[in-house]
Amino acid sequence: MKVFKGFNAMSKIPHPVLTIGTFDGVHIGHQKIIKQLNEVANKIGGESVLFTFYPHPRMVLFPDSHGLKLIQTQTEKLNKLERIGLKNIIVHPFTQDFSRLTAIEFVRDYLVNKLNIKTIVIGYDHQFGKNREGSIDLLKELAPVYDFEVIEIGAKDIDDVNVSSTKIREALKQGDVSLANTYLGEEFEINGIVVHGKKLGTKLGFPTANIEVESNIKLIPKNGIYATRVIRENGSDFFGLVNIGERPTVDDSGRITIEAYLLDFEGDLYGENLCLKLLKNIRDEKKFESLDELIKEMKKDEVCLRNWIVDYNW
């Protein structure tokens, strides 16, 4: 997949077949759009293109109050788009000036004059441009003027998927990673670097890797213990338990941490980037009266995980 930072760095894309959107999560609805993009592109000897923005528009328009939590970091999004077969992505810098473009100016100056678009594949309810004034109807009006084709993804095709980034975020906030994974078409990921902690897990007999996430707007699921696949930089993977939460039994700071315990692993992970693929919620986080009670519960969690692995669908 080719990644272009705005139009100035973009080389000529033959017969671009384009869609527009933020595509947070790249869920099964987004995947359906990319599949259709590729099918249309293959028929005309062209290439699929996604036009998206970075940073997220809400971060620019409401810098002090956006409250944004995204399902994916930018790196996670790009990796997934490549995995599902997108050929090109234009990541355009979203600025205050860009936000003031009317829908007609965006289509004329960017899609037609800069990209020479010939085909647009877009949802029936998609809106774009200043004050979200652009619509499928406007594109259909402009199509004969600027010589491009509009392929509409109808209500039935979109609504039958019955998924949205909002639904996925809500599922994650409730700790229901199984439902989120169904919507995403794969496991929800948390990627981060292993940093030094207080090494309390080692003292308790459960050495953990403390994960520092690269983005402060990455959505972290509800506090709890999760069955997880942990993938190392070298490609090796382990089942494990991930604790997300405040560790109330041993820490009263209220700070949220992410700790991964890898089954049957021995070695040093410090400084390594790990990919945590959350599979299932084991239990909610809770405070115990003593470390002995905490250790007993952690042992139960491990037994629960090992029993569940036996039936896990590889």
The DSSP secondary structure of 147-210, one letter per residue, reads T-EEEEE-HHHHHHH---HHHHHHHHHTT-HHHHHHHHTS-EEEEEEEE----HHHHTT---EE
| DSSP three-state, residue 303 | helix
Measured in whole angstroms, the distance separating CA 300 from the mean position of its chain's CA atoms is 31
* Residue-level pLDDT at 280: 94
Q: Cα(144)–Cα(160) distance, rounded to whole angstroms?
A: 30
* Residue-level pLDDT at 8: 63
* Residue-level pLDDT at 158: 61
Reading the block at residue 5, the tokens are 């930072």
Residuewise pLDDT in 10s, the chain (314 residues): 999 987 665 567 888 999 999 999 999 989 989 999 999 999 999 999 999 988 988 889 888 888 889 999 999 999 999 999 999 999 999 999 999 999 999 999 999 998 889 899 998 888 888 888 889 999 999 999 999 999 998 766 666 667 889 999 999 999 999 999 999 999 999 999 999 887 777 767 788 999 999 888 999 999 999 999 999 999 999 999 999 998 888 887 878 999 999 999 988 999 999 999 999 999 999 999 888 899 999 999 999 999 988 876 55
Sorted by where each starts, the structural domains of the chain and their CATH numbers stand as 2-163 (3.40.50.620), 174-310 (2.40.30.30)
* Residue-level pLDDT at 104: 95
* Residue-level pLDDT at 10: 59
Sheet with 2-4, strands from edge to edge, namely 2-4, 88-93, 47-54, 16-20, 119-123, 149-153
- Closest C-alpha among 222, 194, 223, 221 to residue 207: 194
Reading the block at residue 142, the tokens are 């402009």
* Residue-level pLDDT at 51: 94
Where do the H-state alpha helices sit in the chain?
28-44, 57-61, 74-83, 96-99, 103-105, 136-146, 155-161, 165-173, 177-184, 200-203, 291-310
